[in-house]
Amino acid sequence: MMKRLSRAVAVLAFFLLAEASPAQSTQTPATPQLIAGGPQVLDVQGGKIRVVPVALGLYHPWSLAIPDERTILVAEKNGRLRMIRDGKLLPDPAWISPTPAGQNPDALHFITLHPKFAENQLVYVSYPKHDGDRVTLAVARGRLSGSKLTDVQEIFVADAWETGGNLAGRIFFGPDSMLYVTVGDRDRICCNGSDDNSLRMKAQSLDNDAGKTLRLRDDGTVPPDNPFVGKAGARPEIFTYGHRNGYGLAINPETGELWQAEIGPMGGDEVNILQPGHNYGWPLVSMGRNYTGTLVSDQPWFRPGMDNPRIFWVPSISPSSIIFYTGGKFPQWKNNLFIGSLTQRTLIRMAFKQPSQAEKRESLLVPLQERIRDVQQGPDGYIYVATERAAGGNASDGTVLRIEPVN
């Protein structure tokens, strides 16, 4: 009993320390600056950065992929895959999702490139797939030919059919050349005043893909070394489970670990270190609250057999994306973690002191007051972000920005 109590106290201390490290920044909130006016120079810890508009007028850009120094691909939520070539946004889409955009356009989510893109030109996309009133997540791949995505074929459809709810769809190739796919828990109770946990519990069941991170070959088939291959009643594509709404995946360059960012409800956003077959607790372990204000979990700190997050936030920041910076343009930021935030409208930089303690946090781009949808490192070593001004609606106020050092 004392051992269990001591462990609970230790876990409590871990979470308190994780939250006790405040965001440190030289910036203060200001009147939003119109990025359309040109580059902005902003103060950061130890210097300055220049934020350069690359493209304006995008419709809720959810994801970026950067094949080379001349080209940026942008996934717009309404289903259009756009191309920026030599600093200009091409007027015609490179591809349009087969998903009808509808009255509340949600037809395209994330994009990524094959690890051997330079040889095969393969681009991967994720999007909602409909069957009557039901919807799930699908993944397709096509070949980039000039300014068009051609020969697009659907290679995977998640077993996560519901009439609505968290869908996610981050796709990411790991160093093992496997495709990792996040699938939301399909919870529909967001703001309807209900605390019903029954649908969320799909994240704890291995007989479906909801609330999971999946691991696939590049053709959408299941690799034989996945943790649940051959286990009765379990989907073989599952890599990890117990997730709410995974939006970010990245490899820690110092450890080789796969890190995932996921959005909680009211608080309880997390960054997890993913291990094959592990359970990350949702909804049985969560620091978040339901939208009615009640606690999601009666044991928010710990349950046996479930992994605690590496980082968590209360209140919510809504982490949309993560990268570890490995380029040469910002040597002072080498191996720092960058986290895009929707609700806080900031790009968070996090430095680490070994072995695993967060050393400091800095909020970047605060004066712009833009929701950060995606963050990527370009082949030129600069940092690129996709932003939007509004959370919903039909406004084409999205941008792609490049972050450069000011020497």
Confidence (pTM): 0.91
Number of domains in the chain: 1
Residue 402 domain-assigned?
A: yes
pLDDT for position 359: 67
pLDDT for position 197: 66
Residue 143 domain-assigned?
A: no
pLDDT for position 352: 87
pLDDT for position 198: 74
Tens-level pLDDT at each residue, the chain (407 residues) = 333 333 343 344 434 333 333 333 334 333 344 577 789 999 999 899 999 999 999 999 999 999 999 999 999 999 999 999 999 999 999 999 999 866 668 999 999 999 999 999 999 999 999 999 999 999 999 999 999 999 999 999 999 999 988 899 999 999 999 999 999 999 876 545 455 667 899 999 999 999 999 999 999 999 999 999 999 999 999 999 999 999 999 999 999 999 999 999 999 999 999 999 999 999 999 999 988 888 998 888 889 999 999 999 999 999 999 999 999 999 999 999 999 999 999 999 999 876 656 668 999 999 999 999 999 999 999 999 999 998 877 778 999 999 999 98
pLDDT for position 16: 37
d(CA 189, CA 183): 17
pLDDT for position 19: 38
In terms of Cβ atoms closer than 10 Å to its own Cβ (0-12, 13-18, 19+), residue 33 is middle
Residue 81 domain-assigned?
A: no
Check the CA dihedral 351-274-272-389 and report its sign: positive
Q: Which of 165, 116, 108 is nearest to 139 (CA)?
A: 108
Q: What are the residues facing 216 on neighbouring strands?
A: 179
d(CA 8, CA 302): 7
Residue 147 domain-assigned?
A: no
State both tokens at 58.
Answer: 């995008």
pLDDT for position 25: 37
Contact 61, 83 (CB under 8 A): no
DSSP codes, 169-210: EEEEE-TTSPEEEEE------TTSS----TTGGGGG-TTS-T
pLDDT for position 2: 37
Residue 16's SS3 state is helix
pLDDT for position 165: 87
Residue 21 domain-assigned?
A: yes
User: Which amino acid is residue 39, in one-letter code?
Assistant: P
Contact 233, 207 (CB under 8 A): yes
Domain extent, residue 341, equals: 1-60+317-407
**Following CA atoms 13, 17, 20, 24 in sequence, which dihedral angle do they give, to the nearest 10 degrees?**
180
